[in-house]
Amino acid sequence: MEQHPNARLTPRGRETLVSRIESGIGVAEAARQMGVSRQTA
């Protein structure tokens, strides 16, 4: 799958985001750490 060169969340990035949320840090904080909006997270 081709990725946009400026894509914030690659498949690996999505895995990282989900694992951070599952670890209990919260959606808003995980989104901030990953550079995406809370709605995206």
Dist CA 2 CA 39 (whole Å): 24
In a domain, 19, yes or no: yes
In a domain, 5, yes or no: no
In a domain, 23, yes or no: yes
In a domain, 34, yes or no: yes
The total of structural domains in the chain comes to 1
pLDDT band at 3 (very low <50, low <70, confident <90, very high): confident
Dist CA 27 CA 2 (whole Å): 27
In a domain, 6, yes or no: no
- Provide the 8-state DSSP code for 38: T
Predicted TM-score (pTM) of this structure: 0.80
Dist CA 31 CA 1 (whole Å): 24
Dist CA 1 CA 19 (whole Å): 22
Dist CA 1 CA 20 (whole Å): 24
Summarize pLDDT for 9-40 with one digit per residue, the tens: 888 899 999 999 999 999 999 999 999 999 99
In a domain, 16, yes or no: yes
For residue 34, the enclosing domain spans 11-40
pLDDT at 6: 74
In a domain, 22, yes or no: yes
pLDDT at 1: 64
